[in-house]
A = this chain, B = another copy of it.
């Protein structure tokens, strides 16, 4: 079946077309471009949740329970599980997914695992595209789950409307592991396994961490940093039990509250602008890098200068300047 037919079927909510198109955007940025160009008009309906947490936090059960809640509200849910640490296999994650799948009928929930095929930037880009496909497919909610708490999550969560970080009572290693960049984009902290000893202590630890860090990178010029957050949204903290489902009504209310917050006062709008900038930048980087890689590999000018760098009559920074000059980028303002 050709891509155009698949796109038509996707817009009708065809599950197999969605799956096929996702495989295409994962593997091929050229087709990806064509697909996104043709569906972009129809995107923007889904609400996107980013969920992460340290290994062992119970993410799978948490997401299962949350998804059931959404499905019971009549919503169609897409789940994208991203493993940035795994370039190819992502075995453990896939196992989780299969277990998760058992809980749902296929009509209401679409689950997809993505592992890192190549560069991190590539994975974040592919995730953006998969989100768009699931959006057009008809998902009301798209959950993007990642396995860690590092820099790659921050890139991948760029498009999430609400970011939830899952923690568990215990050692505090998980709080240690929350990096500044991730903390900065977290909207809700959920303490899972709330019936274990130490849940209240964990809540206190989170409060302390937030207090220690409110001024932190406050005026960051990082496009990923949603600066308005720390000014206008104080991250909520909630204890839950994913197995019994305790406090999931409250959690779902907090998510709604955050959505309302985003939509009022133009925050949603400025967030969308940031997202577009970041996404365009991502695509631009890819395109320009490809372009320049082509130049580096084929151009005689470059080859000559490479040997100059090799014999140390030129350094890599000056070589970069020469290339920028060669492509005329030095004259742009």
Which residues does A use to contact B, with CB under 8 Å?
A: 33, 36-37, 40-41, 43-44, 84-89, 91, 116, 118-120, 148, 150-152, 176, 179-181, 222-223, 269, 272-273, 276-277, 279-281, 283-285, 287-289, 291-293, 295-296, 306, 309-310, 312, 315-321, 323-324, 326-329, 332
Contacts and interface: CB of A to CB of B under 8 A. Distances in A.
Given A87-B181, A280-B296, A40 B315 contact: yes
A283 B87 contact: no
Given A281-B292, A332-B327, A36 B315 contact: yes
Given A284-B320, A288-B324, A329-B329, A40 B312 contact: yes
A47 B222 CA distance: 36
B317 A36 contact: yes
A280 B214 CA distance: 38
A283 B322 CA distance: 12
A295 B87 contact: no
A304 to B, nearest CB: 12
A143 to B, nearest CB: 22
A85 B89 CA distance: 20
21 contacts: A33-B317, A36-B315, A36-B316, A37-B317, A37-B318, A40-B315, A84-B150, A85-B150, A89-B179, A276-B306, A276-B316, A276-B319, A280-B296, A280-B316, A280-B320, A281-B296, A284-B323, A287-B320, A287-B324, A327-B332, A328-B328
A53 B276 CA distance: 38
Stoichiometry, as copies per complex, reads 2
Contacts of A33: 317
A15 to B, nearest CB: 24
Given A276-B306, A284-B292, 17 more contacts: A36-B316, A41-B312, A41-B315, A85-B151, A87-B179, A120-B120, A273-B310, A276-B309, A279-B316, A281-B289, A283-B320, A285-B289, A291-B324, A291-B332, A295-B332, A327-B332, A329-B329
